[in-house]
Structure 1
């Protein structure tokens, strides 16, 4: 939202009041409160008929500065007035107050407020300036229509680039964009987004989280080109400046504030196949797909039933359509006997024809209008109402309906929608509908995720969710929504996923082949490569089935190749996922997150790091041509073994069984012994691929159990021509081996056996051994 008319003027209808002079400072043990006037006080008479701005600074966590500005503090804000943050109490701080400034330091991050006119606010980390606000930047905005606002403008340095703000499909770098944090069902091809997060990070190594669930309007270098501006309606503004040594530290601090991503169950990383949206299907159709995948040696982990598992016009009644599924319990039992997990589609809407509508209406479980009638419309489903998750009884009722499905054998829910939430409604607990519009999805997904944890146990809960707000990363997995079957849409999907990852979300998926329309075989096969090198992998569409043999026979081979590749990488992927959940960083990472010191990484949005060791560059054209960038260092193509030097762009052409997939130097990547399922004993028979270990460097890998507990940790250290391998953990003396790739030939092995392998030297510890040394030729 813009308030200025060029650099000098204010837009008609607005008055801006900015802090100019500090009148007083109150220091507590854990916060400072600054009172600032809007102009210079020439005499005591100037204190009459004048406003003040109250500015409070404190810290909930080390390296996190909370800034809260008030005009009229007593203004009532109906809930949810802020996001549900995790830390309780305050972090220790150091406060300094002198004639020139007052400052508060938390960890290594400091906020300094100058006492010279006009007031300036500066944020630093270890003495390095991050950002700040100066003359006319912080402002209370009075509007002629009575809808007043608070605004902050934080400086952007030369070359500073901004990322995040949720799953955004617009350009990856947000500079120059106006972004309204308002969840909408707009597909993947517009400025609208399903997952709006009022949090951004920059390549200067800090983040800003605006703690307002309602509409937050960002002007990222789009009003004042050297400022990142955000504004909210009302009498107060609260935001957090989040510091850290790296972007990983910043995301870790942010997710410590808003919640860490839960670790998805290992089975959820396998291939998902769905019935698609408007296709015709019954048990025979489903069985033909499942058996067709098995006959073609295509490992399948999850089968998903989309909307029409229920009768049309009755979404949601949570009852199987008996016309096509007369024996749902038996069908689910037969599918699960094949080793499959089952997911079904739901949303938080109850259509008028649903058998549940009257029950929900009678008990007050649906959102209401001001006159007490149920809020209804015909968009999506005839006469549908919306479940009111601020009503505890409605939450339990919703859980009970879904619990019956879990008792039948369902394992997961696709929690679709949650964005089309009206603002002309009354909530059970009196919540403000403006503030609830974005926050509704948090309550919706939390209810379903909690039910899965209650019924299936912690570590077994997995959603396939479309909408989210800040904190939604606690309830994975999220997918990108309705994309088209085009290369352009494939690329915009990746941009959205990378932006979501830089907004605190650990796991993300997308519809392989595109949702709308039907992709040509070429696009399907290229999207399969991308999809199976993503956090989670799902074949899904709108009007056509997505089984590969409907495209061509080569599509079957491509899907088999990349599905088995992903399953063999599960020791690596799941190990990195355990790290992602503990630390709060994404599994699929923007290049700027891993290579922030390389300015070329700032704008890279057609490639990504899968974990911290594998670089993936999907192919976005029918010619099979890929132009990608390798940062400095020695890189080894994971599939071919080709070794190249980075610090340059490369252009190559690949067939459907290849794409740029590179391991960076000093990487130890565990590869599993199985390729037919995602959940197995990752350490048993594992081969740890050691890539281009440089002199003086070390590499390590942790192989977890399917429950996420470490069972094998291997570390490789090189000193000259000697590589020392050390292993520990329950599986340290088990059946594992080491494969040297991109390293000089081996002259000898102490306490181990070496053999020639197609891609290097394979070293297996001697029986009962947990450590050994390798002498290089």
Structure 2
């Protein structure tokens, strides 16, 4: 008998099953003839009730079965290329009655859906536009009420009697376990078991999933969070709002994803509000509560390394696309430039003072009435916008424009009435505008198209970027197109960002936006910045926390307001903030009602600013290449130390340093006087400006003058650099490949400038061999070691240094 013959298994209810979750429940029966089976032919196989399928294994071509009895062994079932869940049936346990559906995907991803109603499918906007996940090969064994699923990556166990779900690593170590028995007394729960509970005061049904918490476990993620980056012992309210600062638990970007140091991630796929209690209510478990949702839809993500979990999470929700090269230059802004002349004068001053810059942003005052957004330039202060844009372009400067999705009713009553007549303004239960300055209903396709046309008119004039401010104030009392207020509140910023990004993509060659709020999956529409921080060192510290947290949540690109927003920073705060900002994926100077141009802080500030501004522009080949690689991987440019050092427990609590790509350790000064303690992860570290070497896995107290900062490069790194021009051009002229020496080992760096080139360096006891990856042009190679610097020019394919 050939083991590769396709066979279909038919159940007693005459339906064809392409999987066999439980012979006892489906009551299979068999009838077959003794004819010889021929290869390549399909057969229908019927099993009698006494036959038993004891084991099955999911293969790329179908299911491989083991059938107990006189039947066919190791036969194949054709799955017709469709996903078939392992479990898809109604169950009843002590704490849950409803349907369960378990799906297995490639790379250690499991999707669990549960509900009390009849609906078994779940659609969310966050998964739209993302390539579908592929099914994995898996083997299933049933042991009583236990179902064991083994994949190439990990193993999972389902307890069907009391519904429990666990994940195990390849080594058999349990990395995740549902906690369904967290009780003080027999009837008193500290956290609720998997299923739905009812709020007795309101009658609201709440979906609940509780997870066992180990004593040495830590949690990261949840989007933009200003509280400590490690979320253990914290409560996270996934409800997007305008916090008006960076000093509270409220946040512009909150999302229902986290990962654990035990080796798993959890993404709750919901539009609705959710809350996570990460050990602050119970010492035994972390719990998730989902409000208003009729389904529990959870993706469990296994990963031996935290970067693996992030890569797999962004396989589900999407990865950040590449954005224009010029966006990695300096952005200059304030709230707000008020006239054409003021905008052009800032551009001229940047060029006159030899300060590289690529973007100027006009904030709230480019309309006829400041803040009254009608997507039209005011004729009084901006009478010739196209000429202004052309002059900026002649300087190599792009224009960014602020706008908002709210209609200022007092100033724009005709626009409000026009949108209301079309049904594009949400109303409350009394038939009134749900918001005094109404939000436009971007869940309505016609309204969304109208909004995109307003932006496209600006792109046609030569505008390069739209700043999507606000969007957090969507009233839950409103009624929207296809959504109630509770469902749309969190996803509105996502719909807002998506519409603006699509308008950009449909208008210009290199789409981009500058957004404040979004939700899970929002990384598909970059860039996002951290909102309105205080103009002091606290504002800088909390902003850095939020950037690290965003990077732990799938966002490759992130920025913040250099100098802070609310108030006027001191010279020291401004310079230290600028130094930190130059080593984020994007850097923008911005503030409210006062300038952020460096010369307004004095000659010393301008000189120091110029030093770091030019340094960033020299590093553009490194930054752009890093952005390209990290975007494809779903990883951040600004990386928490734990991501690259998961075995170093010291890195868990470091939230004022980060890796800038693979090479740079950034440890900005965050207080007056220039002193701080730096933690160096494993390896050797060259101070960028002095080449002094620090040893890894230790702390060091440093003191830096205002024109210096703790900036280090890891030994063995490859850092391509270029010439600092006044703005970024397409070509990397006069490329220099900087190689930081170490005793032995091998390093690669993927250089990207429209084409990929793999640069390699091999270190062997004083000998360093560098391959340029086929790069053409004027290439130099610089070797930095503890003995000094050596440069070779006009390098073609490779070169060798003997140290």
Q: TM-score range with shorter-chain normalisation?
A: 0.7 to 0.9
In structure 2, what is the equivalent of residue 755 of structure 1?
Answer: none
The match for 1:408 among 461, 472, 493 is 461
**Residue equivalent to 2:488:** 436
- How far did 1:616 drift? 0.1
Report what 1:9 is aligned to.
none
User: Hey, what does 1:32 align to over in structure 2?
Assistant: 86
In structure 2, which of residues 131, 143, 158 is the aligned counterpart of residue 99 of structure 1? 143
Where does structure 2 lack aligned partners over 5 or more consecutive residues? 1-21, 27-55, 64-83, 182-192
Which of the pair has the greater relative contact order for Cα pairs under 8 Å at 6+ separation? 1
For 2:797, the equivalent position in structure 1 comes to 770
Q: Could you say what secondary structure the match of 2:365 adopts?
A: helix
- CA contact 1:588–1:610 (8 Å) conserved in 2: yes
Unaligned runs of 5+ in 1: 1-21, 40-49, 378-383, 745-758
Q: 1:85 to 1:98 in 2, by over 3 A?
A: farther
Residue 223 of structure 1: aligned partner: 281
Report how many aligned residue pairs link the two structures: 709
Structure 1 SS opposite 2:542: helix
Tell me which residue corresponds to 1:709: 755
| 1:542 counterpart residue number | 592
For 1:448, the equivalent position in structure 2 comes to 500
Change (3 A) 1:83 1:230: farther
1:420 aligned residue: 473
Partner-residue secondary structure (3-state), 2:341: helix
Give the match's secondary structure for 2:719. Answer: strand
Contact 2:337 2:362 in 1 (8 A): no
CA-to-partner distance for each residue in 1:214-233, whole Å, 9 max, x for gaps? 10110001111231210113
The Cα of 1:305 is off from its aligned counterpart by 0.4
Check whether the contact 2:365–2:371 (CA below 8 A) recurs between aligned residues. no
Offset at 1:743? 5.6
CA distance in 2, matches of 1:267, 1:249: 30
State the distance in 2 between where 1:720 and 1:70 align. Answer: 63
Deviations 1:93-123 (A, max 9, x none): 41422325212244413321246x7554211
Return the alpha-carbon distance in structure 2 between the equivalents of residues 358 and 550 of structure 1: 43
* Counterpart in the other structure of 2:381: 324
Note the alpha carbon deviations across 1:489-539, whole angstroms, 9 max, x for none: 100000001001100001111000000010011101111101111111111
| Deviation digits for residues 42-95 of structure 1 (CA, Å, limit 9, x no counterpart) | xxxxxxxx9634332212442111112223334998x75875373436512414
Q: Report the equivalent of 2:238.
A: 181
Which one of 207, 210, 224 corresponds to residue 268 of structure 2?
A: 210
Task: Decide whether aligned partners of structure 1 residues 71 and 718 sit closer, same or farther in structure 2, where only a CA change above 3 A counts.
Answer: same
Q: Give yes or no for contact 2:142–2:148 (8 Å, CA) kept in 1.
A: no
TM-score w.r.t. structure 2 length?
Answer: 0.84
Match of 2:679 among 629, 642, 653: 629
Return closer, same or farther for 1:314/1:737 CA change in 2, 3 Å cut-off.
closer
1:369 aligns with 2:428: yes
The C-alpha deviation readout for 1:527-586, integer Å capped at 9, x for no partner, is: 110111111111110121111222111110111111111110011111010011111101
Using a 3 Å threshold, how does the CA distance of structure 1 residues 675 and 771 change in structure 2: closer, same or farther? same
Provide the rounded CA distance (Å) in 1 between the counterparts of 2:25 and 2:300.
Answer: 21
Alignment check: 8 A CA contact 1:83 1:212 kept: no
Q: Name 1:750's counterpart in structure 2.
A: none
Q: Contact (CA 8 Å) 1:625, 1:652: kept in 2 or not?
A: yes
Q: For residue 102 of structure 2, what is the aligned residue in structure 1?
A: 57
One of 720, 723, 735 as aligned partner of 2:778: 735
Cα gap change, 1:74 to 1:449, in 2 (>3 Å):
closer
Name the Cα RMSD after superposition.
Answer: 2.3
Structure 2 partner of 1:518? 568
**2:291 is the alignment partner of 1:201:** no
Q: SS in structure 1 opposite 2:577?
A: helix
Q: 2:741 aligned to 687, 692, 710, which one?
A: 692
1:213: how far off?
1.5
* CA–CA distance in structure 2, aligned partners of residues 320 and 441 of structure 1: 24
- With over 3 angstroms needed to count, the CA separation of the structure-2 counterparts of 1:373 and 1:80, relative to structure 1, is farther
Q: Relative to 1, partners in 2 of residues 1:35 and 1:398: Cα closer, same or farther, differing over 3 Å?
A: closer
> Is 1:392 the equivalent of 2:435?
no
Q: Does the CA contact (< 8 Å) of 1:166 and 1:500 recur in 2?
A: yes
Instruction: Give the direction of change, closer, same or farther, for the CA distance of 1:85–1:56 in structure 2 (3 Å limit).
Output: farther
Between 654-663 and 488-497, the greater mean CA deviation after superposition: 654-663
> Normalization by structure 1: what TM-score?
0.87
The one of 583, 587, 602 equivalent to 2:637 is 587
Residue in 2 that maps onto 1:468:
518
| Residue 667 of structure 1: how far off its partner (Å) | 0.8
Query: How is 1:215-364 mapped onto 2 (pairs within 5 angstroms)?
Result: 215-233=273-291, 234-274=293-333, 276-277=334-335, 279=336, 281-312=338-369, 315-352=372-409, 353-354=411-412, 355-364=414-423
Q: For structure 1, which segment, 324-333 or 85-94, has the greater mean C-alpha deviation from structure 2 after superposition?
A: 85-94
Contact 2:158 2:164 in 1 (8 A): yes
Three-state SS of the structure 2 residue aligned to 1:456 is coil
Q: 1:165 to 1:466 in 2, by over 3 A?
A: same
Quickly say closer, same or farther: Cα 1:385–1:694, change in 2 above 3 A. same
Which whole-Å CA distance do the structure 2 matches of 1:258 and 1:463 have between them? 19
Cα pair 1:369 1:424 within 8 Å, conserved: yes
Mapped partners of 1:629, 1:738: distance in 2: 30
Contact 1:205 1:245 in 2 (8 A): yes
Change (3 A) 1:114 1:770: same
For 1:72 and 1:453, how far apart are their aligned partners in 2? 40
Matched, 1:125 2:169: yes
In 1, the alpha carbon distance for the partners of 2:707 and 2:694 equals 20
3-state secondary structure, aligned to 1:464 = strand
Instruction: Point out the structure with max Rg over C-alpha.
Output: 2
Deviation of 1:241 (Å)? 1.0
Query: Using the alignment, how far apart are the partners of 1:372 and 1:155 within structure 2?
Result: 47
Distance 1:522 1:370, change over 3 A: same
Relative to structure 1, the CA distance from residue 73 to residue 89 in structure 2 (aligned partners, 3 Å threshold; closer, same or farther) is: farther
Mark the CA change 1:533 to 1:288 in structure 2 (over 3 Å): closer, same or farther: same
Please report how far the alpha carbon of residue 372 of structure 1 lies from its aligned counterpart in structure 2 after TM superposition. Answer: 4.9
